[in-house]
A and B are shown apart, each in its own frame.
Chain A
Amino acid sequence: MKPQIALLLIASAAAASEHDFFEAKIRPVLAEKCYGCHSVESGKAKGGLLLDSREGIRTGGDTGPAVVPRDPEKSVLIGAIRWHDPDTGMPPKNKGGKLPASVIADFETWVRTGAADPREGGAAAKKYDGMAAKGWWAYQPISRPKVPATKNTAWARTDIDRFILAKLEARGLEPVGRADSATLVRRLYLDLTGLPPGDEVVTDGLLDRLLDSRAFAERWARHWLDVARYAETTGGDVNVTLPEAWRYRDYVIDSIHADKPFDRFIREQLAGDLLPSKGEAERARNLIATGFLAIGAKSLNGTDPRQFAVDLADEQIDAVSQAFLGVTLSCARCHDHKFDPISQRDYTAVAGIFLSTDTRFGTAGGVRARNASSLIEAPDAAGLATVPRKMDPQTWQRKSTQLEKLAAQRDQALASRRPGARSGGGAEMTGFDVVRLITEAKKIEMEIGAFRSDGTLKPKIMGVLDKPLAAPATDRRKPGIGGPNASRRADSGFLAIADSPLFIRGSIENEAAAVTRGLPEILGGGKQLRIPAGSSGRLQLAEWIASRENTLTARVTVNRVWHWLFGKGLVETVDNFGASGAAPTHPELLDHLAQQFIDDGWSLKKLIRRIVTSNVYQLDTMHSEPRHLADPDNRLFWRMNARRLDAETIRDCMLAISGQIDLTPPRGSVIALAGDGPVGGERFRVLEEEAIETANGRHRSLYLPVARTVQSEALALFDFSDPSIVRGARETTIVPPQALYLMNSAFVSEAAGAMASRVMSRPGFDQRFDLACRLAFGRAPHPDETAAARRLGDSRESWVTICRALLSSADFLFIN
């Protein structure tokens, strides 16, 4: 009995003084050694952990509760300060390293005796701030605002005008006057088709003709291709071609030409493979649409297939969420979103959908491009066109034989290098030699894989499919990617439809429990997807995105269209509708347009027609001092914004004005013709980077090859969109290299020369200059312009200089 009583006494003495123990031994150490990185006051919560409150220390961070009362072994904090591992030991080396043994013992005692902690309130660990943004306007249902009444009842022509005018009147402003008809015609041509009006324009039925033209579809397809981060190479560490990407480009053009309902357009791009189709041709089109998910930027050289798989899914999540929803879902990959109500669990729910998706992006494979996939082969019945690329049957046969030999050598070399293998075969080879064998075999495999044995090109599609329900048996003989020095993982581990584990801090080495596939909770408005067994959930995700209940999709879409017509969105951050983005200047108008867009059957052409027939769109770009002082950024749209032409329009207009343009759509692209392989780089390249930089020709600019990391000079200089990033709004820079291009490039010289020939077909200086101005500016010259040009003379050389000057001047380079 006695010893027991003694123990009890000691214990109760400890209990009586446990708060003192905390104050004397624990709190000072926490404050001195830990609060620097783990407290509200420091503003840091490394590892998601706050140690400055009882709640914080008990809840813990990413790796679980820091302290479990009475259980030191389960307390992450104790493990960390014991400092078994210099990488995870706390405090870290640069903060003084391991604590004295006596202090560690104090902490163990403290936890063992119940971790008494008198600290309360104030410093409570916040789960995340993003949830505070639940009430952010973009997450509320789209309203049906009443069209406002305006004091001036004569000005407005459409409801759009009434919304704009009401805001202006509230600020005591009124819009400037209407632009003159020459300016309007040029504006309409450039905005709708990206081509100049020409020297004579018939205005009867002009809008219908423009909307129905293929030029319209091409121009607006290019806008969408910016959003879709369209490119024909992977970018990243090895820039490998995507020779079938052009099919997606043409799909976008055709869809816009047909005015395909935008909700259908979205469903096809996200889940075309899962939609019913009538016949092989439609099936092929739907598959091509899913190219949206396959054309993103990729770093193919990674040695870890699991990392590659989660990075691929992340890229898709990033593109889908920004392109359709205007939110940055992938910010929640490693932690809960800092600004928006999106948790890491929400991210993981969506990630499962894309990790259950088989993305067929193709690419060459081999060393430095370790992560390749096959493409989807289209049946003949689909009637898909191919680019004119052939291999003669003898070459095909020869390469096929060569491949068999190389593959045998490779397999033998790999077998002989396995631990425990008998020596012989490839044992004398260095790892480098083996990698070379693998690479060489891979290269030939891909070369002949593109063709049938008769040497004709196989029609193939980039796109996605659902993964199977169960993982297929792995082929053990298959060489793991990356050769003998590569990671030990033979595959990504994501081989079948499944939920994704939550990766703590985004690290694939640190898995927590899986999260059921579905929607982000708040964005989904409390709804969840009903995903049928055996399906990834992609179709259900697509249906939710393209639904009228979605608070984001229609708003984001109409806002981009507004931006493309005014140079500024009603929400200025066109790709970010989240709480870190801008609020709408005209929330009611935005909702009005979004509702009408949905009611119009998601018709892009109807939406554009509504906007361009408004008085707001037809305002002058004229400066006005009082209005400018009241609203310097023209946020209220008191005038039209003058906008610099985008890169494609500059080039297309130069080709058109000089009479050189070829408006027939070409089949494929320079990259499609080059086939599989790297652009630039040291080995196996199928295209020099110069071939992209200097690519030219007479076709419209959207048919120029679009590579990542290297771009056509003419486009790159004038702020062509970086095709690795979803980009609804391009930048506009005005920098000297553009001026050098206009002054000295061969392309502009040629255009100026051809334009000079065209205007010189007219007799006399005045008529010539009149034509030149009509072609370049869409209007007759002003007298001071004619006078200035006349000083240069009337010789051919003078005309080349004059034409170049017109193509370099603001009236050509801007839409007024």
Chain B
Amino acid sequence: MNRRRFLQTSSLGFGWLGLSALASGAAAKSPKRVIFLCMRGAPSHVDTFDYKPKLNADTGKPGPRPGTQLLGSRWKFSQHGRSGHWMSGLFPHLATCADELCFLHGMQTDVPAHPQAYLRMHTGSSQFVRPSLGAWTQYGLGSLNENLPGFITLSPPSGLGGAQNYGSAFLPARHQGTRIGVEKRPIAQAQVANLKSAQSGDAQRAGLDLVRTLNESKLRREQHDPQVDGLIESFELAYRMQGEMPGVMDLGKESAATKKLYGIGDAVTDDFGRKCLLARRMVEAGVRFVEINHGDWDHHFNLGDALPASCAAVDLPLRGLLTDLKSRGLLKDTLVIWGGEFGRTPHAEGQDGRDHNVKAFTMWMAGGGVKAGARHGVTDDYGYEAVAGQVSIHDWHATLLHLLGLDHEKLTYRHAGRDFRLTDVHGRVVREILA
């Protein structure tokens, strides 16, 4: 009996989800891939993308939280592009791409502590072990390139929920994110596990041929065993991955101009620039979901020095990524998302710092399916709390899935006797930002 026949007659087949059952209606123009630029530590929205002139005017006055003093932003804001987005002087390079960006100024989350909020942003829950956004995406859309993992995360932090942030939880294990590198170690040194053979190419091939012969001999003896078929296939894929992955990881093939575009070679931007360029190479090669982690944005003190340093590390590479994706025709079907787990307070912590704020923060999106140059949501005069166009993490997840052509209420997985969703029983698609 052949493999196809077996899959027809058995419930063991590797079924992909039927997209028709899940379509959100956005499928025709849906982006195919995602680059999530995750800014760990919670960037200050009032110093970057949420312009609050009254906060500056009222510096030193009592803040909305009792016993606090407002702290104006020391960075000058100006408007950019036809969209007229207000952006602070900390992002001079990204500002030239203003018209590609769509800002969500009304972001809110629930727990003002990094681990919970970071997990919630990634999995929808800080309380329970749930599949991550990337795993759900992979599960819903399947693979674009069987030679590569479908979900890759670059330099994730080891704390804050660790691997749970890119885990598959109860989803089948193949949807788990493949980790490359860890936070605080240069990505230039990172590699996929077990990709390099210690043997010579010939010796390895001879060994693999023997494995294949042994497995085929077993198949002949037993006539039929889909698991052995699967094993043979997995070795072939691994061998191809061994061949293809190092090429994807090798930035040596990029021109000097491209590297410069991403700020590679400059100590300030090198690491994040490499991650961005890797992300582009990966989505280009067919990886479905790439996440880049970048920290630390947790500026409780020393905001004056630390925030500009954090911004400088990402500003030029962000422009590089967006312009490069666009010039290669990839931006129209790649969804780029940027943001951290929450925002920061308009009032001061100490002399020169800002505390956690879950009532308002800013994220942005660019690329396929998103209304470029738009903004949604408004915070109060100080940026303390979103007062209109609030977007919860569940709403944000619902919107991301919708953009990818998936209905967040229909993308379910049955586990422990019930159907689970990324958005649990919540989530509203932010239609206002759909192109």
Q: Give 14 CB contacts A-B under 8 Å.
A: A331-B417, A368-B115, A576-B417, A681-B160, A689-B158, A719-B173, A724-B129, A737-B193, A740-B242, A744-B197, A801-B207, A802-B207, A809-B215, A814-B227
Q: How large is the interface on A (under 10, 10 to 19, 20 to 34, 35 or more residues)?
A: 35 or more
- Does A239 contact B349, Cβ atoms closer than 8 Å? no
Name A222-247 residues within 8 Å CB distance of B. Answer: 235-239
A678 to B115, CA, bound (A): 13
10 closest A-B pairs (Cβ-Cβ)? Answer: A681-B159, A237-B115, A680-B158, A739-B238, A580-B417, A709-B162, A736-B238, A805-B210, A623-B224, A740-B194
Instruction: Check B218 for interface membership: any CB of A closer than 8 A.
Output: yes
A805 touches B211 (CB 8 A): yes
B residues with a Cβ closer than 8 A to A are 1, 6, 9-12, 111, 113-116, 119, 126-127, 129, 149, 157-164, 167, 169-170, 172-174, 178, 182, 192-199, 203-204, 206-208, 210-211, 213-215, 217-218, 221-225, 227-228, 230-231, 233-235, 237-239, 241-242, 300-301, 349-350, 353, 355, 416-418, 428
Is the beta-carbon distance between B227 and A788 smaller than 8 angstroms? no
- Interface residue A270 (Cβ < 8 Å from any Cβ of B): no
Q: Which residue of B lies closest to A307 (CB)?
A: B127
Residues of B within 8 A of A302 (CB): 111, 116
A236 touches B161 (CB 8 A): yes
CB-CB < 8 A to B161: which residues of A?
Answer: 236-237, 239, 709
Q: What is the bound-complex CA distance between A709 and B129, given in angstroms?
A: 9
Q: Is A439 close to B, CB under 8 A?
A: no
Chain B nearest CB, measured from A742 CB (Å): 8
Q: Which single residue of chain A is at the shortest CB-CB distance from B213?
A: A788
**Digit string of A155-174 for contact with B (CB within 8 Å is 1, else 0)?**
00000000000000000000
The total of Cβ contacts below 8 Å across the A-B interface reads 227
Cβ of A512 within 8 Å of any chain B Cβ, yes or no, is no
Contact yes or no, A297 B116, CB < 8 A: no
Quick check: is A456 within 8 A (CB to CB) of the other chain? no
Minimum C-beta distance from A291 to chain B (A): 20
A621 to B225, CA, bound (A): 10
Whole-angstrom distance from the CB of B353 to the nearest CB of chain A?
8
Across the interface, name the chain B residue whose C-beta is closest to A734.
B230
Q: With A432-B350, A725-B129 in contact, is A731–B214 under 8 Å at CB?
A: no
Q: Which of A339, A431, A744 contacts B195 (CB 8 A)?
A: A744
Which residues of the other chain, B, contact A578 by a CB distance below 8 angstroms? 417
Q: Check B417 against A743 for contact (C-beta < 8 Å).
A: no
Report which of B164, B221, B233, B301 forms a contact with A235, defined as CB distance below 8 A: B164
Q: Quote the shortest CB–CB distance from A314 to chain B (angstroms).
A: 9
Q: How far is the CA of A138 from the CA of B126 in the complex (A)?
A: 33
A710 touches B195 (CB 8 A): no
Q: Please pick, from B9, B129, B301, B428, the residue contacting A297 in the complex, using a CB distance under 8 A.
A: B129
Residues of A near B197 (CB, < 8 A) are: 743-744
A710–B241 CB distance below 8 A:
no
B231–A709 CB distance below 8 A: no
Q: In the bound complex, how far is the Cα of B170 from the Cα of A797, in angstroms?
A: 42
**DSSP majority for the A interface?**
loop
Give the contact stretch, choosing among A61-69, A355-363, A627-635, A664-672: A627-635
User: Which residues of the partner chain A approach B163 to less than 8 Å between Cβ atoms?
Assistant: 709-710
Beyond the given A739-B234, A743-B239, please list 10 additional residue pairs across the A-B interface where CB-CB is below 8 A. A237-B126, A301-B113, A331-B417, A339-B417, A622-B223, A628-B224, A710-B158, A731-B173, A749-B198, A788-B213
Chain A positions within 8 Å of B, measured between CB atoms, are: 94, 235-239, 297, 299, 301-303, 311, 322, 328, 331, 338-340, 368, 430-432, 485, 573, 575-576, 578, 580-581, 621-623, 625, 628-629, 632-633, 642, 644, 678-682, 688-689, 709-710, 713, 719, 722, 724-725, 731-741, 743-746, 749, 782, 784-785, 788-789, 791-792, 797, 801-802, 804-806, 808-811, 813-814
Smallest beta-carbon distance B72→chain A, Å:
19
Alpha-carbon distance A584/B115, docked complex (angstroms): 42
CB-CB under 8 A from B1, the residues of chain A are 623, 625, 628
Q: How far is the CA of A791 from the CA of B116 in the complex (A)?
A: 57
Q: Which residues of A contact B196 (CB under 8 A)?
A: 744
Interface pair A632/B9, CB less than 8 Å apart: yes
CB distance from B145 to the nearest CB of A (A): 12
User: Shortest CB–CB separation between residue A793 and chain B, in angstroms?
Assistant: 9
* Residues of chain A with a CB closer than 8 A to B238's CB: 736-740, 743
CB distance from A251 to the nearest CB of B (A): 25
Of B115, B174, B300, the contact of A238 (CB 8 Å cutoff): B115
Residues of A close to B233: CB separation below 8 A: 734
Report the bound CA distance from A609 to B157 in whole Å: 48
CB-nearest residue of chain A relative to B224?
A: A623
CB distance from B241 to the nearest CB of A (A): 6
What residue in chain B is nearest A678 (Cβ atoms)? B159
Taking CB atoms, residues of chain B closer than 8 Å to A734 are: 227, 230-231, 233-234
Q: Of A235, A681, A808, which one neighbours B158 at CB under 8 angstroms?
A: A681
* Complexed CA–CA distance, A378 and B82 (Å): 72
**How distant is the Cα of A680 from the Cα of B167 in the complex, in angstroms?**
17
Q: Which residue of chain A is the closest to B125 with respect to CB atoms? A: A299
A743 touches B158 (CB 8 A): no
Q: A724-B129, A736-B234 are in contact. Are A811 and B428 (CB under 8 A)?
A: no
Instruction: Assess the B162–A801 pair: CB atoms within 8 A.
Output: no
Contact A432 B129 (CB under 8 A): no
Chain B, Cβ-Cβ closest to A735: B174
Contact B301 A430 (CB under 8 A): yes
Residues of B with C-beta under 8 A to A680: 158-159, 162
B119 touches A237 (CB 8 A): yes
B324 to chain A, nearest CB (A): 29
Using Cβ atoms and an 8 Å threshold, which residues of chain A touch B182? 689
A303-B113, A580-B418, A710-B158 known; A633 and B12 CB under 8 Å?
A: yes
A581 to B417, CA, bound (A): 6
Kindly list chain B residues whose C-beta atoms are within 8 Å of the C-beta of A737: 149, 178, 193-194, 238
How far is A560 from B237 in the complex, measured between Cα atoms in Å? Answer: 34
**Which residues of chain A have C-beta atoms less than 8 A from B199's C-beta?**
801
Distance from A106 Cβ to chain B, minimum over Cβ atoms (Å): 29
Complex CA gap A678/B218 in Å reads 47
Across the two chains, which residue of chain B brings its CB closest to A752?
B207
What is the CA–CA distance of A749 and B196 in the complex, to the nearest angstrom?
12
Measured CB to CB, the closest approach of chain B to A430, in angstroms, equals: 4
Q: Hey, which chain A residues are within 8 Å of B111, CB to CB?
A: 302-303
CB distance from A499 to the nearest CB of B (A): 24
Query: B115: which A residues are within 8 A, CB to CB?
Result: 236-238, 299, 301, 368
The CA-CA distance from A810 to B127 in the complex, in Å, is 40
Residue of B nearest to A720 (CB): B173
Complex interface: chain B residues within 8 A of A431 (CB)? 349, 355
In whole angstroms, what is the CA distance A722 to B204 when docked?
A: 33
Asked if residues A745 and B206 are in contact (CB atoms below 8 Å), the reply is no
Residues of A within 8 A of B225 (CB): 623, 642, 810
Shortest CB-to-CB span from A646 to chain B, Å, is 13
Question: When the two chains form their complex, are residues B164 and A733 in contact, meaning their CB atoms are under 8 A apart?
Answer: no
**A744→B198 contact, CB < 8 A:** yes
Contacts of A722 on B, CB cut-off 8 Å? 129, 169
Distance in angstroms between the alpha carbons of A798 and B198 in the assembled complex: 14
**Could you say which residues of chain A place their CB within 8 Å of the CB of B113?**
237, 301, 303, 368
Which residue of the partner chain B has the closest CB to A486?
B113
B195 nearest CB neighbor, chain A only: A740
Q: Which residues of B contact A749 (CB under 8 A)?
A: 198
Residue of A nearest to B298 (CB): A682
Cα distance A750–B169 when bound, in Å? Answer: 32
| Alpha-carbon gap, A603 to B308, bound state (A) | 67
Assembled-state Cα–Cα distance A221/B214 (Å): 33
Report if A811-B300 is in contact (Cβ < 8 Å); known contacts: A576-B417, A744-B195, A805-B207: no
**Which residues of B sit under 8 angstroms from A432, Cβ to Cβ?**
300-301, 349-350, 353
Contact B215 A810 (CB under 8 A): yes
From A724, A736, A789, A792, residue with most partner B Cβ within 10 Å: A736
- Known contacts A576-B417, A623-B225, A740-B193, A299 near B164 by CB under 8 Å: no
Question: Which chain B residue shows the least CB distance to A744?
Answer: B194
Complex contact A811–B218 (CB within 8 A)? yes
Q: Which of A622, A731, A808 contacts B172 (CB 8 A)?
A: A731
